[in-house]
């Protein structure tokens, strides 16, 4: 086991963490209030449209929160979206080594990772792509009911449901890997407190750690 180091590095800025928590809360509320329409046995929970009201309020937060972030931190936001689509050799290496890592605690073969590891990036890519899909299909269903042609509306419901299935299943994976998986040590700390130990940064995000060190050297 690694020797615990007192030194810490910032992994997620405060703005990023606040956005993460607001967006997660909104998404979980959207997920649960959508789920009651998915499970026939829970349909009665949706009666009198209380879940519809929660769904719409959450949807507004789901849309507005990232927009506020974009206005406040345009550079970080644009960079983050670019990162989602920035895939390279290390990512393939990660995907190959991941099963042995996550099942057998075998860290060998894991290529050094950037600020996000490939798995996190995959989830982030899903969040970006399906976030847009959710918002577009949702807005059409919300504001263009009876205005949009019925055929379009019907497909919007269908696509919204597909996005729900993909992101809903992946949300379980995300939460599991972040806070439950036996190997997880500092991922939750990173998003809750913002910092990780230098030891963790070096071992889990080697590429990013090197970049940070180089940056610091240049400045110093």
Binding site for other proteins (CB under 8 A): 1, 36-38, 40, 43-44, 46-53, 56-57, 100, 102-106, 108, 142-143, 145-146, 150-151, 153-155, 157-158, 161-162, 164-166, 168-170, 172-173, 176, 180-183
Tell me the C-alpha distance between 52 and 14, whole Å.
31
Helices (H), the chain: 14-38, 50-72, 74-84, 89-104, 118-143, 150-175, 187-192, 198-204, 206-219
Tell me the C-alpha distance between 103 and 64, whole Å.
38
Looking at the Cβ atoms of 85 and 142, the one nearer to other proteins is 142
Give the shortest CB-36-to-other proteins separation in angstroms: 8
Looking at the Cβ atoms of 43 and 74, the one nearer to other proteins is 43
Give the shortest CB-194-to-other proteins separation in angstroms: 26
Vertex 102 angle, CA 129 and 27, to 5°: 35
Give the shortest CB-193-to-other proteins separation in angstroms: 23
Q: What share of the chain is helix, strand, coil (3-state, %, to 5)?
A: 75, 5, 20
Looking at the Cβ atoms of 58 and 113, the one nearer to other proteins is 58
Give the shortest CB-46-to-other proteins separation in angstroms: 4
């Amino acid at each position: 086991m690694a020797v615990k180091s007192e030194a810490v590095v910032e992994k997620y800025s405060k703005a990023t963490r606040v956005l993460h928590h607001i967006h997660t809360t909104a998404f979980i509320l959207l997920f649960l209030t959508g789920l009651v329409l998915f499970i026939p046995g829970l349909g009665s929970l949706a009666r009198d449209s209380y879940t519809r009201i929660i769904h719409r309020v959450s949807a507004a937060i789901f849309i507005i929160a990232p927009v506020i972030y974009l206005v406040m931190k345009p550079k970080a936001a644009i960079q983050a979206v670019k990162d989602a689509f920035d895939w390279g050799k290390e990512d393939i290496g990660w995907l190959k080594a991941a099963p042995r890592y996550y099942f057998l605690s075998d860290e060998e073969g894991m290529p050094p990772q950037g600020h996000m590891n490939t798995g996190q990036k995959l989830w982030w890519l899903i969040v970006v792509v399906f976030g847009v899909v959710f918002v577009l299909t949702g807005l059409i269903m919300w504001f263009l009911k009876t205005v949009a042609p019925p055929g379009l509306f019907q497909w919007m419901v269908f696509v919204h449901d597909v996005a729900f299935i993909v992101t809903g299943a992946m949300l379980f994976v995300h939460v599991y890997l972040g806070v439950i998986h036996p190997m997880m040590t500092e991922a939750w700390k990173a998003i809750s407190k913002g910092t990780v130990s230098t030891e963790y940064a070096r071992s889990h995000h080697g590429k990013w750690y090197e970049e940070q060190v180089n940056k610091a050297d240049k400045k110093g």
